[in-house]
Amino acid sequence: MLDVTIQVNPDYRFRALVVHLKSKRPVPEMSQAAMRLEEARIVRRHAVRLLRAKPGVNLLLMGDLNDEPDSAALKAVRGREPPLLYPLPAVDRQGRAFTHFWATGGRRSQIDYLLVNEAMRAEVVSGGIGVADADGWNDASDHRAVYARFHAVDRDPAISQLVPGQAEDAAPVAQVPTQSGWVWVASLAGVVVVILIARRLGWYRRAS
């Protein structure tokens, strides 16, 4: 697990946890499902410690969790009681949520996620969540990138329209441009994380 703090601008930062849980490939030592669940519990305990130490921190957990949305591992990461983590409702342009394609078995599954805490979900930009589906996406990986855009400014969690416990199906918050710009985050297979910062045109000057 990678745990880093990203300082987007002088006034906005977030804590990023990047994880890659055990795959479903069998191993002789023990059940792959049991291994993945125990890893999920370790991640959850770490996230809870962070959020209880700094209740107002913006927390983004991302990566390849190698399990479906209703799995025990995902439920363990999300939590049953506060502080909760909310999976962002990412789909591609055709409304499909799958992030992994197993060519041998011809199976598509949703196993890659971006999850946010109560504070950071208020900063989600409307229409800024998705799953990459450009042509040739599987030339480099059997995973599809999950991405999201956030307002790079702390906002009141009370304005969030994501309903506790129903984050997957709820609408994201309304878009409110800020002079602090936006931050884009993308995760591919729990290994690659891309962060881009931009300001709204007209609110910055190009170097002459």
pTM of the model: 0.80
Coil/strand/helix, residue 10? coil
pLDDT tens digits, residue range 8-29? 888 889 999 999 999 888 988 8
pLDDT tens digits, residue range 72-82? 999 999 999 99
Query: What pLDDT sits at residue 126?
Result: 83
**Rg from Cα positions in the chain:** 17
CB 62 within 8 A of CB 115: yes
Regions of the chain with pLDDT less than 70: 101, 103, 106, 136-140, 159-181, 188-208
Length of the chain: 208
What is the CATH number that goes with domain 2-198?
3.60.10
